[in-house]
Amino acid sequence: MANEEDSIPPMQFYGPTDKFGFGQLSEIWRTRELLYSFFLRDLLIRYRQVVVGILWVLLQPLMGMLIFMGLFFVLGTNAGSSTVAFAPIILTGMLCWQLVASSFRDATGSLVNYRHVVTKIYFPRMLLPLASLMCAVFDFAIGSLLLLPVCMLTGTGLVWSTAWLAIPIAMWLILFCAGCIAWLSALNAHYRDVGYALPFVLQLGMFVSPVVYDVERLRSLLTDRWVWLYEANPIATCIGLLRWSLLGTQLPSVLGMATAAGITVLVCFSGLAWFQHADQQLADRI
């Protein structure tokens, strides 16, 4: 038995290891296989009993783009900038917005919809909203491939020199979403109101972010202070930055970007701490 005793795992005490919830990160890393299983499950379930299957991933942003292009065409207004074709502008906006909206929507319900498992077995609860986020990121990545044909069809040249920056910018947006869903999913487990309020918030969010219009149009209408406030929204800044890196539109203001970065960091850290706090009572309250 002597050699067996050498490999005895240490006694682990349950409960938070630190106040800020950083312990959750290492736990998520340890259980990454389960995260993958949840991601796979969400992905597989979504396209079961669906005729065109995975094509929906491409159709959704494309339809969104066509609807708004049609709307603006009928209205006779141009919500884009003067230099770049409208189609790729709106497509980048649509892709980002669908990443935000679908991750928020799915992650918010993830704990509650899975409560029969949450109350029966332990695993890091954060995996559930994260799996929803991974699905949204998957859609985002596949949907991004649409940019190439859309740019070609509209004769828009991609700015290759800064295009690589699109990846860190997208990561920024994903990080912001992660922080938000940590808040939303745990809040919804305690207060179902969150789930009901979310659709309205998302509807509003779509219009206060440059999803279907370009920031350049807005700049001419607003004073600097309002532009700063507008760009403090990390979603707006990320969309603006993505367009800048891929299509060569105007860069968001440095002050706006700095504020947005600060807000992102704040949301992520507070999200971690809140999630850990909420997790303590999750099985009792859900």
Partner 1 sequence: MSIESIQLDKVSKRFRLGATNEYGRLTEAIATGVKNLFRKSPEAAAIRVPDSFADRIEAGWFWALRDIELSIQSGEIVGIVGRNGAGKSTLLKILARIVTPTQGRVGVRGRVGSLLEVGTGFHPELTGRENVFLNGAILGMPRAEIRKRFDEIVAFAEIESFLETPVKRYSSGMAVRLAFAVAAHLEPDVLIIDEVLSVGDQAFQRKCLGKASQLGAQGRTVLVVSHNLAAVANLCQRAVLIRDGRLVADDVPERIIDQYLGEMRAGDGQRVWEDDESAPSSREIRLRSVSVTGNGSDAPASEVDIDQEIGIVVEYKVLVADTPCCVQIQVKDETGAYVFWSANAPSMNLEPDPWFAKPHPTGTYRSECRIPANFLNDTRYFVSVLVGPEVGIVSVRHDSALSFVVHDTGAMRQEYTGSWLGPVIRPRLNWRTKKQ
Binding residue for partner 1, selected from 70, 71, 168, 193, defined by CB under 8 A: 193
Query: Judged by CB under 8 A, does residue 281 bind partner 1?
Result: yes
Select the span of 28-36, 101-109, 211-219, 248-256 touching partner 1 (CB under 8 A): 28-36
- Cβ atoms within 10 Å, residue 274: 17
Q: Which stretch binds partner 1 (CB under 8 A): 7-15, 87-95, 156-164, 204-212?
A: 7-15
Cβ closest to partner 1, residue 35 vs residue 174: 35
Q: For residues 62 and 80, what is the distance between their CA atoms, to the nearest angstrom?
A: 17
Indicate whether 33 belongs to the interface with partner 1 (CB under 8 A): yes
CB-side exposure of 112: number of CA atoms within 13 Å? Answer: 17
Residue closer to partner 1 by CB (options 116, 225) is: 116
Under the criterion CB under 8 A, does residue 43 sit at the interface with partner 1?
Answer: no
Judged by CB under 8 A, the chain residues 213 through 272 that form the site for partner 1 are none
| Residue 200 makes contact with partner 1 by CB under 8 A | no
Question: What are the phi and psi torsion angles at 13 (to 5°)?
Answer: -95, 135
User: CA-CA distance, 146 to 151, in Å (whole number)?
Assistant: 9
Alpha-carbon distance of 224 to 80, in angstroms, equals 20
Angle at the Cα of 141 (from 109 to 128), degrees rounded to 5? 25
Would you say 6 or 82 has its CB closer to partner 1?
Answer: 6
Cα-only R_g, the chain: 21
Q: Does position 51 bind partner 1 by CB under 8 A?
A: no
By CB under 8 A, residue 277 contacts partner 1: no
Q: Which of residues 117-146 bind partner 1 (CB under 8 A)?
A: 117-123
Q: Does 3 bind partner 1 (CB under 8 A)?
A: no
Residue pair 128/114 in contact (Cβ under 8 Å)? The answer is yes
Cα 92 from Cα 240, distance rounded (Å): 9
Question: Which amino acid is located at 148 in the chain?
Answer: L
Is residue 16 within 8 A of residue 270, CB to CB? The reply is no
Q: Which stretch binds partner 1 (CB under 8 A): 21-29, 142-150, 151-159, 192-200?
A: 192-200
Candidates 20, 192, 208, 222: give the one binding partner 1 (CB under 8 A).
Answer: 192
Q: Could you give phi then psi for residue 108, rounded to 5 degrees?
A: -60, -40
Q: Considering only the stretches 13-21, 175-183, 242-250, 251-259, report the one whose residues sit in contact with partner 1 under the rule CB under 8 A.
A: 13-21
What's the first-to-final CA gap in the chain, in angstroms?
A: 44
Positions that interact with partner 1 (CB under 8 A): 1, 5, 8-15, 33-34, 36-38, 40-41, 44-45, 48-49, 114, 116-123, 187, 190-194, 279-281, 283-285
